C-alpha cells in the first residue's frame, strides 16, 4: 500500500464501480477498494475494554450495509465525514443473522471521482416521460386560476429540474432519484380515480392538490451520494415549506378566489392526515380526505414493495422483521414466487 499525496494510503482498486454492490455482499467475501457512501458514522465505546470502535452505515445504489472497524477506529474516523464516499478494504461476516462488513482500512475518495448514480438508486421509470405525464395532468385541470398556479411551478425550468431528480423520502417509500415525481404521478392517478367513484369531489382542486402536495420536498432533501434532510427540512418540514411555496404563488393569481386559496392551502397542510404524522391540520374537506388517503396508499404500498425487493433471497419465505411496520412480510414459498417459472 502506497501513500497518497495527502499522506493517506491508497487502496488497491482504480475503479470503484468494479467493486461489489452492497446487495451482492455475502458472508465469506472480501472487499478491496469497494466504494460506498457513508450514510451514518459513530464512534462507540467498547463495553468490555477501553477504547472505541467505528460503526458505519455504508450504501450505494443497491442498498445499505452495516460496517464496523474494530482497530484504529479513531484514526480511521478522522479521515472522512458522514456523506463522504470512502474506498473500503475488509471482509463480510454475519452477526445475529445480519450481514456486516468488517473494515480493516479505508480512505476518502476525491470528490471529482464520485458519480451520484453509483451511490443512489433511481426510479425505474424515465424522468422525462414522467414529466410529460405530469404536464398532461396539469393540462387536465380546467379552472384558470388553478392552472396558473400549477404553471407557476411546472413551467419553471429550475423547479422542474429539481422536481424530476428529487427523492420522495429519505427512507421507507420512494427513497430514490426520481421518487418524488413518481409518487406525485401515482397520487394524481389515485385521486383522479377517486373522482370517478365520487363525482361530488372537486376534481380540479383535488388533482391540483395532488400535483402540488409534496413540492416542499425539493427543499427538504439533499441528495449527492446519500439522501439527507436539510436544515430547513428538519426544522420546518416539507408540509409547511410546501404550503408557504404554494401560498406565495397563489397570492399572485387574481383568478383564484379567496376560498380557493384556503382550500388549496388546506390540502397542503392536511395531506399527512394525522398530527402524529406531521399534519398541522386534520383533513376537513372531502378533497383533503381523498388526498390524504391517496398519498398514503401510494406511500404504504411502495414501502411494502421496497421492503420485499430488499430481501436478500435467503429462501425463508419472509422478510426480516421490519421495525417500523412491527411485522415481517410474506414473500411466498420459493416455488410459488413470481418469476420462478420463467
DSSP 257-303: -HHHHHHHHHHHHHTT-SGGGT-SS---SHHHHHHHHHHHHHHHHHH
Name the residue ranges covered by the structural domains of the chain.
16-117, 121-305
For the whole prediction, is pTM greater than 0.85?
Answer: no
Over the stretch 62-114, which tens digit does the pLDDT of each residue have? 888 999 999 999 999 999 998 899 999 999 998 887 899 999 999 999 988 88
Q: What is the mean pLDDT of the chain?
A: 89
Q: Are 126 and 67 in contact (CB under 8 A)?
A: no
16-117: CATH superfamily: Nucleic acid-binding proteins (2.40.50.140)
Domain 121-305 of CATH type 3.30.1330: no
Could you give the C-alpha distances from 291 to 129, 236, 260, in angstroms and in order?
24, 21, 16
pLDDT of residue 171: 84
Q: Are 63 and 22 in contact (CB under 8 A)?
A: yes
As a whole number of angstroms, the distance between CA 26 and CA 22 comes to 9
Angle between helices 157-165 and 144-154 (to 10 degrees): 70
Q: List average pLDDT for each run of 10 residues in the chain, which is 342 residues long.
A: 40 46 89 92 93 94 91 94 92 89 94 84 94 98 98 98 96 92 98 98 98 98 90 97 98 98 98 96 98 97 89 72 88 62 44
Could you give the C-alpha distances from 200 to 137, 190, 192, 196, in angstroms and in order?
20, 16, 12, 9
Amino acid at each position: 500500500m502506497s501513500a497518497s499525496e495527502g499522506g493517506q494510503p491508497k487502496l488497491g482498486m482504480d475503479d470503484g464501480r468494479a467493486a461489489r454492490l452492497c446487495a451482492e455482499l455475502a458472508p465469506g467475501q472480501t472487499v478491496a477498494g469497494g466504494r460506498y457512501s457513508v450514510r451514518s458514522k459513530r464512534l462507540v465505546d467498547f463495553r468490555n475494554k477501553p477504547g472505541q470502535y467505528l460503526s458505519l452505515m455504508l450504501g450505494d445504489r443497491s442498498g445499505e450495509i452495516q460496517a464496523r472497524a474494530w482497530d484504529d477506529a479513531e484514526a480511521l474516523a478522522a479521515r472522512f465525514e458522514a456523506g463522504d464516499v470512502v474506498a473500503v478494504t475488509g471482509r463480510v461476516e454475519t452477526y445475529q443473522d445480519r450481514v456486516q462488513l468488517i473494515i480493516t482500512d479505508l480512505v476518502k475518495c476525491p470528490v471529482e471521482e464520485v458519480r451520484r448514480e453509483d451511490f443512489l438508486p433511481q426510479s425505474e421509470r424515465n424522468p422525462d416521460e414522467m414529466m410529460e405525464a405530469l404536464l398532461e395532468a396539469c393540462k387536465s385541470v380546467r379552472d384558470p386560476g388553478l392552472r396558473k398556479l400549477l404553471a407557476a411551478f411546472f413551467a419553471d425550468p429550475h423547479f422542474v429540474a429539481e422536481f424530476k431528480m428529487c427523492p420522495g423520502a429519505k427512507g421507507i417509500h420512494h427513497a430514490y432519484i426520481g421518487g418524488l415525481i413518481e409518487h406525485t404521478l401515482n397520487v394524481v392517478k389515485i385521486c383522479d380515480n377517486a373522482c370517478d367513484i365520487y363525482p361530488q369531489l372537486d376534481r380540479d382542486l383535488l388533482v391540483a392538490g395532488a400535483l402540488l402536495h409534496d413540492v416542499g420536498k425539493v427543499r427538504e432533501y439533499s441528495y449527492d451520494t446519500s439522501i439527507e434532510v436539510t436544515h430547513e427540512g428538519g426544522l420546518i418540514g416539507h408540509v409547511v415549506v410546501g404550503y408557504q411555496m404554494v401560498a406565495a404563488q397563489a397570492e399572485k393569481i387574481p383568478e383564484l378566489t379567496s376560498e380557493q386559496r384556503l382550500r388549496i392551502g388546506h390540502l397542503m397542510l392536511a395531506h399527512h392526515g394525522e398530527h402524529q404524522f406531521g399534519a398541522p391540520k386534520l383533513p376537513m374537506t372531502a378533497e383533503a380526505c381523498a388526498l390524504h388517503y391517496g398519498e398514503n396508499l401510494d406511500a404504504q404500498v411502495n414501502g411494502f414493495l421496497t421492503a420485499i425487493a430488499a430481501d436478500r433471497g435467503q429462501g425463508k419465505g419472509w422478510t426480516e422483521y421490519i421495525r417500523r411496520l412491527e411485522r415481517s412480510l410474506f414473500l411466498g414459498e420459493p416455488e410459488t414466487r413470481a418469476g420462478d417459472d420463467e
